[in-house]
Amino acid sequence: MNTSSSLDASPRDRVTGTPFTRGLGILVLVGMVLLIVLGLFVSPADVNQGESVRIMYAHVPGAWLAYLAFIVTAVSSAAYLWNRTRSLTWDRIAGASAEVGVLFMGISLITGSLWGRITWGTYWTWDARLTTTAFLFVTYIGYLAVRGLGGTHQQRARRSAVLALLAVLEIPLVHFSVELWNTLHQEASVAGRGTNVDMDGLMLFTLFLGVVVFTLMYVWLVLHRQRSLALDDMLDDSGLDNALTARRAEAERMTH
């Protein structure tokens, strides 16, 4: 059985892919090219912001989808904890979504600070939204670390589900307290300055396209990551011995 399975997984085998994700992937690639062309070249510069508005077409959808990803993590964690819908699939969706969320949030923090540098003249301001975003980023890095702690799949799932729900409690508190802290400072108004954009039709369309492309990209990534997590879990279940013998045989083949 082992030999037949390794035959199955020839490099051409699309392991985590299905016809649906393949179609979705093509759609994402086409949309990405279209977004780059529209965002960088076709769409006009903004009256207030000038060319820097172009960063928004990549930044805003990314930040948006990161928030959405964390909401999905919280919802599927709750679904795991609820007895009637308990399934490790929910746990893996939560984990995959958090991972993609951290990726998108990291990207948005970088593109956001690049945009801030040209618009406000500074990479960072202590605006409540920005600070909360940084906290979200670190919190979910911690969440991913907890997922990697080991133990049984059920242990991992329960631990991380509780943690994801605690994050839902934590984030509004952090946001609220940073906002309170910020009202003491004058710089708070910086975030509101120079951000108003007069969107014309094509600019709105480009932003809308960005949101669509990023959403499809998110779905593709989560589906694939969720399946690769399932593969990892199955591998754990089938026992280390199995994998070890396979690796050893592989090493033999390489040396001869």
Partner 1 sequence: MSNSLKGSLPKNSSTVIATARLIAAKDLRVELRSRVLLNQVLPFALIVMVMFAFALDSDAVLERVAPGLVWLATLFSVLVMVSRSFAVETADGALDQLRSAGVPAMGIFIGKMLALMVQLMVLVALLVGAAVVLYRASFSWEGGVLLVTTAIAATCGLAAVGTLYGGLAAGAKGRETLLPLLLLPVVAPVLIGATRATESAFGTNGIAISEGWPWLGLLAVFAVLFSVAGAVAFGPLLDD
Partner 2 sequence: MDNAGFIITSYVITFGAVGAYAIGIIRRSRKSSRDVPRDQRPWS
Please give the residue ranges that form the binding site for partner 2 (CB under 8 A): 1-2, 4-6, 8-9, 11, 13, 15-16, 18, 32, 36, 39-40, 50-52, 54-55, 58-59, 62, 100, 103, 106-107, 110-111, 114-115, 117-118, 217, 220-221, 224-225, 227-228, 230-232, 234-235, 238, 242-243, 246
What binding mask, one character per residue, do residues 68-87 give for partner 1 by CB under 8 A, x or -?
A: -------------x------
Which string of x and - marks every residue 134-163 that binds partner 1 (by CB under 8 A)? -x--xx-xx--xx--xxxx-xx--xx--xx
Q: Is residue 173 involved in binding partner 1 (CB under 8 A)?
A: yes
Of the pair 175, 227, the CB lying nearest partner 1 is at 175
- From 90-98, 174-182, 219-227, 232-240, span contacting partner 1 (CB under 8 A): 174-182
CB of 162 to partner 2, least distance (A): 26
**Which DSSP string do the residues of the chain spell out, in sequence order?**
-HHHHHHHT-TTS-SS--HHHHHHHHHHHHHHHHHHHIIIIISPPBTTTBTTHHHHHHHHHHHHHHHHHHHHHHHHHHHHHSGGG--HHHHHHHHHHHHHHHHHHHHHHHHHHHHHHHHTSSS----HHHHHHHHHHHHHHHHHHHHTT-S-HHHHHHHHHHHHHHHHHHHHHHHHHHHHHHTTSGGGGGGGTT------HHHHHHHHHHHHHHHHHHHHHHHHHHHHHHHHHHHHHT-HHHHHHHHHHHHHHHH-
Interface residue list for partner 1 (CB under 8 A): 81, 135, 138-139, 141-142, 145-146, 149-152, 154-155, 158-159, 162-163, 165-166, 169-170, 173-174, 176-178, 180-181, 184
